[in-house]
Structure 1
Amino acid sequence: MKIKRYLIIVLLLLFGSQLWAKEYAVSYLNSTRKDHLPVMEIEGRNFINLYDLERIFDGSIKADQKSQTIDLLIFEKKCEFSFFNNWVHFGKHSYNLHNDIQVINGSFYVPEYFLNLCAVKFFPEEVVLDDGSIIINFPSMQQYLIKTIVLDPGHGGKDPGAVGRILGLKEKDIVLNIAKKVKAYLEKNLDVKVLLTRHDDRFVSLGERTDFANENKADIFVSIHCNAAYNTKANGSEVYFLSTAQTHEARAVEAMENEVIKFEDQESIARYTDLDFILYDMRQTEYLNESSELSEMCQKQLVNTLSTKNNGVRQANFYVLRGAFMPAILVEVAYLSNKYEEKKLLSKNFQERAAKAIYTSIKQFKNKYDKMN
């Protein structure tokens, strides 16, 4: 009993000043889309995570560590905040939030009063507060359909990726072939724009890959790879989404794919550990549910289409996924280190079927989320 009592006291000390106070239900006019907005109580006052606001308004955030400011873009208009300050700047005016902005564990929290400003002052035509719920009216839901897809053939140039032990196949060549086939399927059958992070045998840093996706406002990011293991009997397909690796196998694949940073310059390498990139990592967590769902769809299609061993959907902290601000997955088609699967990966028919499996999962995902909008 004493241990239990002490545990309760410790938990209260840890979390007593930060409690979930309530939650807004969020709905969208002319759409079946639903969401929620949690409110956190900090030292007796209610605050909202700025990244949650970014999500429900489909906005964007830009934080500047040097000037200690953060911009939230909603409906193409900028709300500017300063760290540990109680003002928000909108247009030519400044508005008192009555409490300072809070920065906790890399997340920014604004006073709940900001919602009232959005509904009454900033966006009266687009935002309605109604008895514990938020109703959002976007001018056109068409802009929220899945329209742009970025395919990322892993490795390239001086980075060969995994190399087959029997035939000497290079991962960079196989995944580029598959990615081009996926692109062809998507462009032929869906009304989407498809972009590749590389079209030929060139080196592209991990950061450049996700920067490319963000700059082109991609709705989905799919990184395509072939697996490898010290155990030459390891085989099968698996799909990953961003999170902490849960198994020894996932950690091994994570280490292998992240090893590519050895080919990058020191400035690029530093990016994977600095504060800005950690903030990027936190922003990507907004899309974990969608990434997990796309992973499940892709894993099922790969196994059914290729008749490979089902290694399941896994989680790992891949650098190439951390900076992608959209649903993002990493596909390991099969094992180049396995002599039987290396032979299969050489086959154009196998590559074609792998491409079709990835395409079909993207199509399923798009169909589901487009209907929600």
Structure 2
Amino acid sequence: MPSRRIQLFFCAAALFLISLWTYPAILRSFSTLRSFTLTTLNPRPSVDPRETLNVFDHIYVISRSVRNDRRTTMEQLRSALGLRWAYVDATEFTDPSIARKAQCVRDVRAHALQATIDWPSVEDLEAWDDNLSRLRGPPPPGSPEPFCPPWETPSSDPSAQQTPLTCAERDSALGVPWSEDLRDHQIMTLAKIACYTSHMDAVERFIQSGGEAGLILEDDVDMESDIHERLSGLWQTLPADWDMVWLGESLLVQRDPPPRRPRPAPRADAPNALHPSTHPLCTHAYALSRAGARRLRAHFRFPPFAYGRAFDQAAGWLAERGDRLRSYTVVPPLVVQAKVSLSDLDRGDDGLGSAWRDTLDDGVLARIWAAEARAAAEGEGAAFDDLG
């Protein structure tokens, strides 16, 4: 009897040892089977780099949800180029948070100890901003940015509440003195604060995505039809520590600084080049690296600077300084403002914004609209023939 128990004991021990030896192989087999089954039933979608212009991880389009006309046009552009992007709903100027931000700007200026911004080092500013983000988390879209001063009472000067908010210039912590003769670009309207907020929402969304390079567009743009190829060539010339690239700008064409020419040139008859940004304006199309997005956010939330001027003026000044933001501009532009629908910021003489226009060699939307015009003309001609 004892010998039988011993035999059973050794048999059980042997089975136990065999199971220990084969267990990893069995697990691997099940894991492989499970992975195969999941992949077969739920295959991962393949990502075509051309959907994000070959060089970006994400593309965002800032657009008011009520502007169906602009989103329809942007969908034409997206479909023609085979792009993939996400819309960022722009904040309306009537949102209560926008008026609160305007009041915060007034309070910061009222308590300013000096007229000129005393900038901390870029490293210290980024550390402050990172700590702010860890404490508060990313702000939800349209929420007040954490730049308001610690006091709660408004400016002690009642007349300040009646005076329009003006834009600061260069490193000034204060707006330009109010005058009835100021031009539109010198007045910080609620619409401009809402636009600033919307861009900050897009920047924050890119930061939270974990991507290495992102493109932010406004919803009234046209692009070169061969932008994929041109951009791929240009991106080879970017230094590794870049922060921001303006794919299009307005008013001041940058041709003085020596360009970083692409190798090889995408098109010999119309080569684009990368220049260090000097006086960039208009943020209808700009790229940010991950580090550049964090750096931009830190500066744009710094109390003496935050919301004190239009978003493009703020970005342009940081780029112009040269020591706060490593910025480059594509010349000639790859993306331009289409200016075919009413502007929400600057109506200009015709409602479409400033009179300044830029052109492309072969714009996607320009090509579509030209084809539609020809079709309409031919249709009218055919109708006239029928009547005849």
Is TM more than 0.5 here? no
Q: Which has the larger share of strand?
A: 1
Give the TM-score band, short-chain normalised. Answer: under 0.3
